Amino acid sequence: MAIHPIEFRYNTPEMYALFTEENILQKKLDVEAALARAHAKLGEIPKRAAKVISKNANVKAVKIERVKEIEKEIGHDVMAIVKALSEVCGDSGKYVHLGATSYDIVDTAWALIFKDAIKLLEKEIKELLKVMQDLIKRYKGTIMLGRTHGQYANPITFGFKVSVWASEILRHYKRLQEIKKRILVGKMTGAVGTQASFGENGLKLQKIVMKELGLKEPIVTTQILQRDRHAEIIFWISSTSSTLDKIATEIRNLQRPEIGEVAEGFNIENQVGSSTMPAKRNPVKCEQICGIARVLRSNVSIALENMISWHERDLANSSAERILFPESFVLIHYSLRSMKNILRNLQVYPENMKKNIQRARGFEMSEAVMIKLAEKGMGRQEAHELVRTCSMIAFKNDMDLESVLKENSTVKKYLTEEEIEKSMDPENYLGTIEEQIKNVLKEINAVF
């Protein structure tokens, strides 16, 4: 029976499949097969033996049940694989794992899994960016309140807001391209990293194995790849998840009934929002993403702890990584896909955005008036204090700012009523939003 929620609740089938026992075993067998072929290429074992090993290095021939049976007996997981593979290879089995240490196989197998996992992540990010691109284009001119400190600020457009989200996702995509150079690395260096067990052809053998598997070689390593590599990808996962958390939190806030500018899609026909309050429409998918982000951020500390190893290696990282890697990759892929679906089905309410601007009573345009007064010759600080005073009067008397400005004698010395009205129009104070949005769309297009 499943225990961890990534097994039955928070997963995508594609990513989950990469971290099953069967696939992890297969990747380790792939490494053993590549090692045998490299030995054969260098004339160190018979080519026939390498063919036999390669033919049998699969989970159909090497049963996972047999591997577990051997491990229960001997207490060593990789040696159990070696013995199980050797059993089905007959006389050629004596060449299995020749010169290798356990983490030559384990670390290289992890790299193969990461390679497949990153392909899935790249695909999901691109699809998310495509959805964001559509939202940006659709709402690039849809004016809404900007908010700072949870209070009314200058006007923006919803397309601009999504552009900011997209630019952050784009940076994560670019970071991933850099990280691939350091995480898609395997090793074939033996017990403490000296390659003594491989003899004078150690570097050649490692090069052959990694080239065949489509991985890079380390410049130098101990018995294990140094865990700064793995910490980097876990930090990337955490950072990306935090961006999704940021977007989900914004949607949750904008879905508050008193704001009501966007909302998660909701199946009115049969979706239930609450077990006791029938009218509820809760942003549950966004809340899931926010909760998962907390788990993924906590995983960074585990990855950093794993960077510390006794001498040339110890086993403390191993048990942690059996949990850390599947959990992190499965959850980030699930979160990316969830966000893609949330944004694809996002309900946007431009009319409520207009109503909220009206409720702001012009306070969102105070900077625009201050700048206009400065343009007309008033000192910037004097203009700031004048508009601040007018704003406080409007706030205290429950008036709109425009009315107070029009009644102020000092303001009237600098601005006509028409100029005040123009300064109070949100459409006239959007700055370079249009140009910035174009730049983001251009960057998104460059990814495809």
Cα 377 from Cα 185, distance rounded (Å)? 64
Q: DSSP letter at 145?
A: E
Cα 79 from Cα 375, distance rounded (Å)? 78
Please name the residue that has the structure tokens 């969102």: 364
Q: Which of the following is catalytic: 4, 274, 298, 301?
A: 274
Rounded to the nearest 10 degrees, how much is the dihedral formed by the CA atoms of 68, 74, 76, 81? -50
Residue 185's φ and ψ, nearest 5 degrees, are: -130, 130
Count the Cβ atoms, other than its own, within 10 Å of residue 219.
6
> Residues near 87 by Cβ (< 8 Å), separated by ≥ 6?
66, 93
Beta partners for residue 263, in sequence order: 347
Please name the residue that has the structure tokens 């993403």: 289
Determine the distance from the C-alpha atom of residue 227 to the mean position of all C-alpha atoms in its chain, rounded to a whole number: 20
CB contact at 8 A, 157 and 430: yes
- 3-state secondary structure at position 310: coil
Is 318 catalytic? The answer is no
Crossing angle of helices 64-74 and 77-88, in 10° steps, is 130
Cα 314 from Cα 293, distance rounded (Å)? 30
- 3-state secondary structure at position 60: coil
CB contact at 8 A, 345 and 269: no
CB contact at 8 A, 358 and 147: no
Determine the distance from the C-alpha atom of residue 234 to the mean position of all C-alpha atoms in its chain, rounded to a whole number: 10
Q: Which of the following is catalytic: 149, 275, 319, 409?
A: 149
Catalytic center residues: 149, 274
